[in-house]
Structure 1
Amino acid sequence: MKSFLAFLVAMGITVTLGDAYCWSRIHKPGEAKDGCMINGKLYPFGRIERTEDCYTCGCSEGGMDCCSLFHTPVAYDKKQCKVVFNKKRCDYDVVQKNNPSQLCFVYSRVG
């Protein structure tokens, strides 16, 4: 029973740390004729798997809902390491300040 409780606590923490940052926008009537505009780029109606800014979105004439594909590191060795956004992977890398080719351990991330 104790191991089951420990498992539930661990899963609860993992789920909490796994939430993505999300936002919604409602279109004005007639605003979205051909799709949704995100940072100057027009995307077609429907599901958008990945925008140029690393979001996944749903686009309709009524509005759009987007969630980030990345999670921001918040707990890591801030004296020895720095955060660099990797746009190709849509995620943050935490690397050593004096040797950016070496990754640092990240304790937690938030969306």
Structure 2
Amino acid sequence: MGIIVTLGDAYCFTKLHKPGEAKRGCVMDGKLYPFGEIERTDSCFQCSCSPRMMSCCSLFHTPTGYDKENCKVVFNRESCDYDVVQKSDPSKECVVYSRVG
């Protein structure tokens, strides 16, 4: 019998704003996001924006357990996740055993 364990949670961070800095929303990677909940930024984060701070968590987990000799990791912006594919044939996926946030 096997047990599968998820290693870690999503990567999260908080950016505190200086007084009066966030007048119309929060800026991430040069883009202004409105106050409130942001389901998905262009950088694949889920955020909460307020005049006081911006708190975000990643929507992706980094693969760590896979065949590193025959496979490579490629970030997929559409799915906001990493694909692990064969180096010799990127159209074929590799098995991933573990991921971290």
1:26-76 Cα deviation digits (max 9, x unpaired) = 000000000000000000000000000000000000001000000000110
Q: Which residue of 1 aligns with 2:90?
A: 100
- Note the aligned Cα RMSD (angstroms): 1.7
Identity of aligned residues (%): 66
Q: Does 1:70 align with 2:64?
A: no
**Structure 2, unaligned runs of 5 or more:** none
Once residues 105 and 21 of structure 1 are traced to their aligned partners in structure 2, the CA distance between those partners, rounded to angstroms, is: 22
Higher RCO (CA-CA < 8 Å; seq separation 6+): 2
Residue 96 of structure 1: CA displacement?
Answer: 0.1
Runs of 4 or more, structure 1, over 2 Å off, are none
Choose from 23, 39, 44 the match for 1:33: 23
For these two proteins, the number of residue pairs brought into alignment is: 101
Of 45, 53, 57, the match for 2:43? 53
In structure 2, the residue matched to 1:81 is 71
Q: Distance in 2 between matches of 1:79 and 1:26?
A: 41
For residue 18 of structure 1, report the CA deviation from its aligned partner. Answer: 5.0
TM-score, normalization by structure 1: 0.86
